[in-house]
Amino acid sequence: MSRKLAINRLLTTTLLLLLIVTAACRGKHQRVVVQNEEEPAEGGPRVASTFKMSDPGAPGQLLHGVYGLESGSWRWTAGKFTFLLHPPLASAEHGATLTFAFSIPDIVMQKLGPMTLTASVGSTKLKSETYSKPGAQTFVADVPPGNLLAGETMAVDFALDKSLPAGSVDQRELGVVAISVGLEGK
């Protein structure tokens, strides 16, 4: 069985179990603010240009809207989430490429249909892309040279046009399954 198929089956099975467990919960729920569920690694956060959700330093770069590590390799996001990244050397002069690897589980696509993901830095929109099929996805956006990449760190905001509300499948608001994120210099 291919690794991709095994991961998709695992995600589908996990979501179906969550559906069964939470099916009895039909009460009204208060709005939940999603914050990082883990503490940064000892010695303070190490801000990397690229990281996997399973990297030991990852918790220090998950600003909000990203949940705890699951199955040792991935994390659920909420509908809006932010990562902190270190701009690569000389990217302020040459620009960079933002890459976000994620997965859309079958259950999410079945319930929500096509989803649009938008990335921005501050008030600067980088790109929007619509996904209409479940499974592994890669979002790629150009980051132009200039002030966005001039600091020591930059917060990259992602927003989905729709997500599963808390209480519908899980006690958390669910967006996509994050695998890795990063900036590469041009």
pLDDT, the chain, mean? 84
* Structural domain boundaries, residue 11: 3-27+36-185
Question: HSE (CB half, 13 Å, CA atoms) of 31?
Answer: 2
Structural domain tally of the chain?
Answer: 1
Amino acid identity for residue 65 in this structure: G
pLDDT at 127 over 70: yes
Burial 83-106 (b: 16+ CB within 10 A, else e): bbbbbbeebbeebbebebbbbbbb
Q: What is the pLDDT of residues 42-55, one digit of tens each?
A: 445 569 999 999 99
Report the length, in residues, of the chain: 186
Structure letter (DSSP) for residue 71: T
> CATH no. for residue 124?
2.60.120.1320
Assign 24 a pLDDT band (cuts: 50, 70, 90): very low
Confidence at residue 168, expressed as pLDDT on a 0 to 100 scale: 84
